[in-house]
Amino acid sequence: MSAPWVDLVARILADVPRLPGRAACREHVSVFDLAADGHREAAEEAVAVCESCPVIDACRSWITAARRPPPGVTAGKYTPTKSQRKAEK
């Protein structure tokens, strides 16, 4: 029997896409993290990174199948945080 945290990590990673080749976001993690926290300037920069990514089509397929896209930038599209969506209403 594994530790509870191992099971949690396995469940989280099960939803992470397996992108062929080299995803451009891997070289810009801090920008994507800031975008996920709701920073609009970082989100704009992250969208530009996505637009030049060699695996954007695979990423787009994954995010289309996701029940709920994560906040931030994925496949060249910005998704606001939950608090930002509430503030916009």
Q: How far apart are CA 2 and CA 76, in angstroms?
A: 37
pTM: 0.73
Structural domain span for residue 49: 20-80
- Number of domains observed in the structure of the chain: 1
Burial grade of 80 (CB within 10 A; 0-12, 13-18, 19 or more): middle
Examine residue 33 and state whether it is found in any structural domain, yes or no. yes
* 40-42-63-61 Cα dihedral, nearest 10 degrees: 120
Q: Is the pLDDT of residue 1 over 60?
A: no
In a domain, residue 2? The reply is no
- Assigned domain for 56 exists: yes
pLDDT per residue over 33-88, tens digit each? 999 998 999 999 999 999 999 999 988 988 888 777 888 999 999 988 777 766 76
29 is a domain residue: yes
Look at residue 61 in the predicted model and tell me its pLDDT: 87
**Which of 23, 19, 18, 43 lies closest to 33 in space, CA to CA?**
43
